Amino acid sequence: MIIETHAHLYDEQYDTDREAMIQRAIDKGVDQFWLPNCDSETIPGMMELAKNYPGKCRPMIGLHPTYVKENVEQELAIMKEWLDKDPSAFVAIGEIGLDFYWDVTFAEQQKAAFLTQLQWAQACKLPIAIHCRNAFWETVELIEKHNDPNLRGIFHCFSGGVEEAKKAIELNFLLGIGGVVTFKNGGLDKVIPEVELKHLVLETDAPYLAPVPYRGKRNESSYLPLIAQKIADLKEVSLETVTKITTENALQLLQ
């Protein structure tokens, strides 16, 4: 059994073959798909998948940092309304965090939105899925400012170095490892050997960041075994060991 901890399966890139794409992943052993939300517009498609694949497609709720704009308060209110309706409907608060890669116009609003959503996670006892790009230490600063020893979750699409990995682990977070681990110059070949498997979970971030040999093409959850195999090679263990431990890690996060 494999758990896909981060995939945007509601994305329009799958509109022509969504059922077949999901079935391909199931045939590869993927038992659960955790679906991160982006903003109010992605909720309907995400919840439809949760309805059509109960227990398999498991939604998150949250406002993605790159979707933080002038209407941030309105968007957060919509997220909170969904969360209040039934917290148990969601596997995590996410994806939330900071993204200073493309635009820092709303940097302060991103920080405020992140802290607000950390409070939701605390109140609902839910893990969080962190999107963090060009803002690792700023994200760490806010987590430490929030000061909740029970806060847990995943640094989604982790692509930092050993120092960042150790800090994330120190903060009680798992590292979401995706297609970047297969990239020649991705850098994770230096990190994975230094990190115990008990700190890792698998993800694709589909439809983005497809692993080699599909790099540059549309990603999908059936490629998770390629990611797991690369981790197995770097750790010098079996593929079965990687899938077993990463699945246990993901399930433990929900307890």
pLDDT on residue 202: 98
Q: pTM here?
A: 0.97
DSSP designation for 61: B
Cis peptide before 44 (omega within 30 of 0): no
Tell me the residue range of the domain where 167 lies.
2-253
- Tell me the pLDDT of the chain averaged across its residues: 97
Rounded Cα distance between 229 and 243, Å, is 9
pLDDT tens-digit map of 122-173: 999 999 999 999 999 999 999 999 999 999 999 999 999 999 999 999 999 9
**Is 181 within 8 Å of 221 (Cβ atoms)?**
no
- Pairing of β 30-35 and β 93-99: unpaired
CATH number of the domain that 127 lies in? 3.20.20.140
Query: In this predicted model, what pLDDT tens digit does every residue of 188-208 receive, in sequence order?
Result: 999 999 999 999 999 999 999
Short-list 16, 86, 95, 91, CA closest to 56 = 91
Nearest to 230 by CA among 196, 195, 185, 183: 183
Residue 102 banded pLDDT, cuts 50, 70, 90 = confident
Rounded Cα distance between 15 and 167, Å, is 39
Domain total of the chain: 1
